[in-house]
Amino acid sequence: MEYAVEVHDAVVLLDRFPALAGLSLRLRTGSVTLVQGPNGAGKTTLLRMLAGLAPLERGSAIVLGNDVVTQQRQVRASVGLLSPQTMLYDDLTIAENLSFWTTLAGYGDVDMGAALERVSMAPFADQQVVTLSTGQRRRAAIAVVAIRRPRLWLLDEPHAGLDQAGRDIVDGLIADAVAAGATVVVASHELDRVRPLATHVATVAGGVVHAFETVGDPGLTADDDAAGGADSA
Amino acid sequence: MVATQILPFAMVILILFGLALDADSRTLRDLAPGLFWVATLFASVLAIQRSVAVETVSSTFEALRLSGAPAWKLFAGKALAVALQLLAIEAVLALGIIVLYRSSFEDPVLVVTAALAATVAIASAGSLYGVLAVGMGVRDTILPMLLLPIMMPVLVGATRAFGDGLGTAALDGWTWTGLLALLAVIYATVGALAYAVVIEDT
């Protein structure tokens, strides 16, 4: 599969506001794309739409070969979304949350200990989420995403609330995901942190892609710029 | 939450009814079936609101949607959790009406069967309407208004069945229990089918 994500003229409405206003984007499999832009540009809505959570009003979006409108379940089963909210139950422990979400998703045999070690949260496995700090909750949320080994990682401000060690963990997970063949999309304001990790940068404003550039990988050609940012053409 | 908030609330309702009716033991005994189920319904609104609130605090509703689990399984899990809480509350309320209202269980099998059927109906309708209220964005005020009218047939049927079971009314409690069972099946089926649509609007 050459392109993990193919979005064409996508319109997503939040109430009646066009959060995505005809956005077009194509992302190659195995790429790391930084999605940057001002507040309210549509970055979070883009990630939610790719996860199958924000319905398309118009246009089309194919994620990992599945249509987000007609094959929603397949899309959701293949992606991992790291949201600004933790998506964890406060009254459960980290281990209980991991167990619940992996069982619900049908991942019977996962190494929760290794997943928690990866984010340096193993000592806190039996602590309720409500007792954790913001950064610790973030790490736990990252563990829930990572343990599923999604083929498309959708990370919304992944470094937010994390200390230096936590940020290094996120960077390591992104590198590991790409090495395993996954595609990563990172919406972030921390350009200095994420840009060195990225192979592409999409600049979003007003619900459309204004610029799409290839960075980092000298093996990629100018065709990638044309392929990725159709709005800017 | 059940032990610290919902159960005390339900017991306070029973006590308030007793005070309001001036502790006439004959009257309280005769009214016990209705008072029991009114207290249960009020408690169920709290339990369902809590069941929904826990999913909105950290956006776990979205995580449930992302999990890929079939919507009917999510519905069944939520309804089962609410039902278990309600059964625990009803067990304590049953003790409450025995102690406070001098009720006696003439036909415990009928009482338990009716309670089970009514509880499934309440939990099923509540789990569906709870999510529906979230999607409307005003869940704290709208949920009782949506839920309680739907619960009227359950209230009537359960009160009649309990009337027979507690020996306070000459009724065919098993016929009313059959109605409760039918309502339970209908509400559970509608809930399982509609949950997939309703949860997408949260």
Whether B122 contacts B186, CB under 8 Å: no
Chain B residues in contact with A155 by the CB 8 A cut-off are none
- Answer yes or no: is pLDDT of B17 > 90: no
Mutate to test the interface with B, among A68, A71, A73, A155 (most CBs of B within 10 A): A73
What pLDDT is attached to residue B139?
59
B143 vs B177, higher pLDDT: B177
Q: What is the ipTM of this complex?
A: 0.86
Task: Say if the Cβ atoms of A88 and B65 lie within 8 Å.
Answer: no
Statement: residue B187 has pLDDT above 90? yes
Predicted pLDDT at A219: 45
Which one, of A101, A172, A160, lies nearest residue A134 by Cα?
A160
- B77 CA: distance to closest CA in chain A (Å): 11
Q: Which of A147-151, A163-167, B11-15, B90-94 has the lowest mean pLDDT?
A: B11-15
| Average pLDDT over every residue of B116-126 | 96
pLDDT attached to residue A233: 41
Is A91 in Cβ contact with B66 (below 8 Å)?
no
CA distance B46 to B9: 9
A135 CA to chain B: closest CA distance, Å? Answer: 15
Residues of A in contact with B54 (CB under 8 A): 89, 91
Please name the member of A81, A87, A101 whose beta carbon is closest to the beta carbon of B58.
Answer: A87
B137 touches chain A (CB under 8 A): no
Fill in the amino acid letter for B189.
T
Find the closest chain B residue to A74 by CA distance. Answer: B68
Q: Residues of A152-187 as b/e, b for ≥16 C-beta within 10 angstroms? A: bbbbbbbbbbbeeebbebbbebbeebbeeebbbbbb
Contacts of A79 in chain B (CB under 8 A): 66
Q: What is the pLDDT of residue A225?
A: 52
Instruction: Determine, for residues B68 and A87 on separate chains, whether the beta-carbon distance falls below 8 Å.
Output: no
pLDDT of residue A221: 42
For residue A52, the chain B residues in CB contact (below 8 A) are: 65-66
Q: Do residues B35 and B97 lie in contact, with contact meaning Cβ atoms separated by under 8 Å?
A: yes
Neighbours of A219 (CB within 10 A): 8
- Nearest CA to A107 among A152, A140, A150? A150
pLDDT band at residue A71 using 50, 70 and 90 as cut-offs: very high
> For chain A, which domains are there?
3-232 (3.40.50.300)
Is A83's CB within 8 Å of B62's CB?
yes
Confidence band, pLDDT 50/70/90 cuts, at residue A220: very low
Rounded to a whole number, what is the distance in Å from the CA of A51 to chain B's nearest CA?
8
> Taking 90 as the threshold, does the pLDDT of residue B2 lie above it?
no
pLDDT confidence band for B88 (50 / 70 / 90): very high
Is the pLDDT at A160 greater than 80? The verdict is yes
> Which residue would you say has higher pLDDT here, A26 or B58?
A26
Mean of per-residue pLDDT scores for chain A: 90
pLDDT band at B148 (very low <50, low <70, confident <90, very high): confident
Cβ-defined contact of B64 to A104 (cutoff 8 Å): yes
pTM score, whole prediction? 0.86
Report the distance separating Cα B167 and Cα B193, nearest Å: 38
**What count of CB pairs under 8 Å joins A to B?**
46
A205 pLDDT more than 90: yes
Give how far the C-alpha of residue B104 lies from the chain's centroid of Cα atoms, to the nearest Å. 22
Asked if A91 and B69 come within 8 Å (Cβ–Cβ), the reply is no
Residues whose CB is less than 8 angstroms from the CB of residue A152 and which lie 6 or more positions away in sequence, other chains included: A4, A5, A50, A63, A64, A78, A79, A80, A182, A183, A184, A185
A209: distance to nearest CA of chain B, Å? 26
Q: What percent of chain A has pLDDT over 70?
A: 92
Give all strands of the β-sheet with A3-14 in edge-to-edge order. Answer: A17-28, A3-14, A58-63, A66-67
What is the strand order of the sheet A79-82 is part of? A79-82, A152-156, A183-187, A32-36, A200-205, A208-214
Q: Long-range pairs for A195-199 at CB < 8 Å and ≥24 separation?
A: A195/A34, A197/A32, A197/A34, A197/A171, A198/A32, A198/A33, A198/A34, A199/A28, A199/A31, A199/A32, A199/A33
pLDDT at site B23? 61
Contact A105 B68 (CB under 8 A): yes
Question: A105 vs B200: CB contact, 8 Å cut-off?
Answer: no
For residue range A7-48, what is the model confidence (pLDDT) as tens digits?
999 999 998 899 999 999 999 999 999 999 999 999 999 999
Confidence of residue A223 (pLDDT cuts 50, 70, 90): very low
Model confidence at A218, in pLDDT bands (50, 70, 90)? very low
pLDDT at residue B109 tops 50: yes
Query: Once rounded to an integer, what is the mean pLDDT over residues A77-81?
Result: 93
Which of chain A's residues have a Cβ under 8 Å away from the Cβ of B64? 104
Check residue A29 and give left, alpha or beta (phi > 0: left; psi -120 to 50: alpha). beta
Q: Is the pLDDT of residue B147 over 70?
A: yes
